Structure 1
């Protein structure tokens, strides 16, 4: 859990520095630029999720050769996709900017930010494979140290480049790029220590078509999810720079809470995956029951904290009075989103652990369609409030659409013990 909640600190640190030294346009540029990169990178989130499922199953079955092969293929695939994104970043960036409805000042900032951040693409995607391996093996201590290194170095470099050297938005991007490459180097070193034979293994010669087929559903699920997040941000941009900046601040709290709650889902992924490999159905049931109780309790605590301490937390991220006031207005809805989100995370963890990606794809696609329909009806009538109502429906619909599959998925687990 500690390792997982370190992930959104990258965005929070960037937001806090620009929030105190920039204006609402710069803050909006961080918001849209970060979401565009999330859209780009997490479309390939199967490198993390798929690797976790396969590594956990291989570990549970004590299949060392299979385990090494899964890691090798994931690293190679991450490096290859990252290089392609780096080579194609100019047309991709132009396409992304053309789809945004933000002001010229925000778009110029997004251009500067992404043009620098994209140089970390291979490192980012290879790190997904490293993280997936560590989660699948249950090596969360190494996971924690890796995230602390990434975020600590990122914060230090942000302060150096953006505050001390006064490079502003570009300095924020430069610091993040350097931090991500350093984190990959550390991750590969720790992975080499955990799996000594990985470095000496021959290049993977497995069936790449089969590998991509396994991950295809995870690709579409993540794409649908990010389309929803991107739509939310862009819908806020259409309402004005102030709404965009305010929504972005609240999304930082949601992101922090989401990664916190997703820590329980990671446990589900790893433990269920290992139970699948070992054929231990009783272990699967025990893990789901215990993590769900903890996740619901934590979601209530996080939502309560956000609602009660929200104004103080907003002031930590920005000194702009108008942004503070606007963000505080929608705090209750952000807290409700956090409260309802834990169900979707838990059910996602079950699906990933059982390597059942098709239900995740279908549920997220259904939720996206409902979100777009709700936004089209509510936002013109109620403004930003209607947008938040539609956004809450998005996360609730994901869980409701997955719920009918939960028992059928668990029943498919073979039991050998």
Structure 2
């Protein structure tokens, strides 16, 4: 799972590298805001992936093959519906969102072109969420890795080819990403449907798939995860918006450094994904020793990997920045704030790990509430630290936000475990 997630931040690195070679801070800033806007909306709606993982893992723990398949079909139907709805909403988003994210017209125009193209693959994007959630819920890490390699590998090749080789810049990067999502959805559906063919004896009836009580539970779970994801991505969007107030150079530098944070986060997401599957399986089987062991193992390895990542970026961060942008002012600004970006893995390790545990256990309401409290703390820290320390205060606030998320979830863990076992 870690290897699968590790391919995802390569997309941001590739996109930033392609556009950074243009030497235009407005293009790089527009790409950053377009990616943040896409993640704000689509990342918030990725509850298909997380809820599907938790529910599949619990059915797997109970040995209920019929419910495993039913969970997938419910997620797939929802994914197609939401993808079509997103296509209808895209013109409205493009009309207002770019100007809300930046005061610079050139940056907003780049954002509008990038997002408009990527949104065309909305149905495929949501279908990929459902597919990945199902295979990870069953603990099929190799299949998840294969799907991530297909999607992200296609994305990198197409983005470089269309964006850099053919000279289409930001729009080329967007087309590469959109086409890769479609390729991934086709390959993923083939894999899952072939797997279902070998499980024909456990195939659920249509009535089971559309069972009202199961759909209600799914929608409630999705609503909680949606709120949690909206709050999380809202925090990242606020950070981008505050950073843009310091000018195009600082905005571009923060965009480069956010790739460091995203690399850390996707690396830790591998362990969070393992925590989802292991915790969900233990909850489904009602076996407390496995749950406790999963907690210990994922916690240890999360902090160990976070420490290695922090050390790596502190040592090699300057060289990575130079690879991502050729603009000297942007390089200088990014290097001045590199420490804070390198620290995000350590401050966020507990939050990522416990997010996985809470999702696998479907303790969605507690996770939602702790995220809301953390956002309040983030707002307070921004109000105090940004006026005092400018962009340093912004990055310090992000680290505090990550730390609060982990500590608040840890405080809830003992009582939730007692309830479930």
- In the superposition, the TM-score normalised over structure 2's length comes to 0.95
Superposition RMSD on alpha carbons, in Å?
1.5
Query: Which digits, 9 at most, give the CA deviation of each residue in 1:379-402, with x for residues without a partner?
Result: 122211111111111111111211
Q: Is the 8 A contact 2:20 2:326 kept in 1?
A: yes
Partner-residue secondary structure (3-state), 2:211: coil
Report SS of the residue matched to 1:239. coil
CA distance in 1, matches of 2:219, 2:401: 28
Instruction: Find out whether 1:206 has 2:211 as its counterpart.
Output: yes
Cα distance, 1:61 vs structure 2: 0.7
Q: 1:290 aligns with which of 284, 289, 297?
A: 297
Other structure's SS at 1:319 match: coil
Give the number of equivalent residue pairs. Answer: 414
- 5 Å matches for 1:368-379? 368-379=375-386
Deviates more, 1:316-325 or 1:220-229: 316-325
Distance in 2, Cα, partners of 1:413 & 1:284: 11
| Residue 312 (structure 2) aligns with | 305
3-state DSSP of counterpart to 2:326:
coil
1:105 maps to what in 2?
106
Whether 1:349 aligns to 2:356 is yes
Q: Give secondary structure in 2 for the equivalent of 1:412.
A: helix
Q: How far apart are residue 413 of structure 1 and its match?
A: 2.8
- Does residue 386 of structure 2 align to residue 400 of structure 1? no
Alignment of 1:79-98 (within 5 A): 79-98=80-99
Match of residue 339 from structure 2: 332
Which whole-Å CA distance do the structure 1 matches of 2:180 and 2:23 have between them?
22
CA distance in 2, matches of 1:74, 1:58: 15
Structure 2 CA distance for aligned equivalents of residues 328 and 140 of structure 1: 36
Partner of 2:55: 54
The answer to whether 1:238 aligns with 2:238 is no
Shift of residue 201, structure 1, vs aligned partner: 5.8
Contact preservation (8 Å) 1:3, 1:148: yes
Residue 416 of structure 2 is matched in structure 1 by 409
For 1:274-318, what per-residue CA distance to the aligned partner results, in whole angstroms no more than 9, with x for missing partners?
A: 111111110111111112111111111100111111001111111
Q: Distance in 2 between matches of 1:185 and 1:354?
A: 30
- Aligned residue for 1:157? 158
Do the aligned partners of 1:51 and 1:129 also contact (CA within 8 Å) in 2?
A: yes
Taking the aligned partners of 2:267 and 2:102, their CA distance within structure 1 comes to 31
Please list the CA deviations of residues 234-253 of structure 1 after superposition, one character each: whole Å capped at 9, or x if unmatched.
11111111111111111111
| Aligned pairs for 1:7-406 within 5 A | 7-196=8-197, 203=206, 204-207=209-212, 208-406=215-413
Q: Alpha carbons of 1:202 and 1:122: their partners in 2 closer, same or farther (altered >3 Å)?
A: farther
CA contact (8 A) 1:265 1:345 kept: yes
The 8 Å contact of residues 33 and 113 in structure 1, kept in 2 or not, is answered as yes
- Ranges in structure 2 where 5+ consecutive residues have no aligned partner: none
Could you tell me how far 1:59 is from its partner in structure 2?
Answer: 0.7
Is the 2:354–2:406 contact (alpha carbons within 8 Å) kept by the matching residues of 1? Answer: yes
Deviates more, 1:323-332 or 1:403-412: 403-412
- Compute the displacement of 1:22 (Å): 4.2
How far 1:209 sits from its partner (Å)? Answer: 3.2
Question: 2:328 and 2:418 mapped to 1: Cα distance?
Answer: 54
Secondary structure of the 1:195 match is helix
**How far apart, CA to CA, are the structure 2 residues paired with 1:94 and 1:201?**
43
Classify the secondary structure of the residue corresponding to 1:355. Answer: coil
- Residue 166 of structure 1 aligns to a residue whose secondary structure is coil
> In 2, distance between residues paired with 1:322 and 1:351?
42
Q: What do the CA deviations read for 1:198-225 (whole angstroms, capped 9, x no partner)?
A: 8976553222333211211111000000
Does the Cα contact within 8 Å between 1:102 and 1:240 map onto a contact in 2?
A: no
Q: 1:354–1:409: 8 Å Cα contact kept in structure 2? A: no
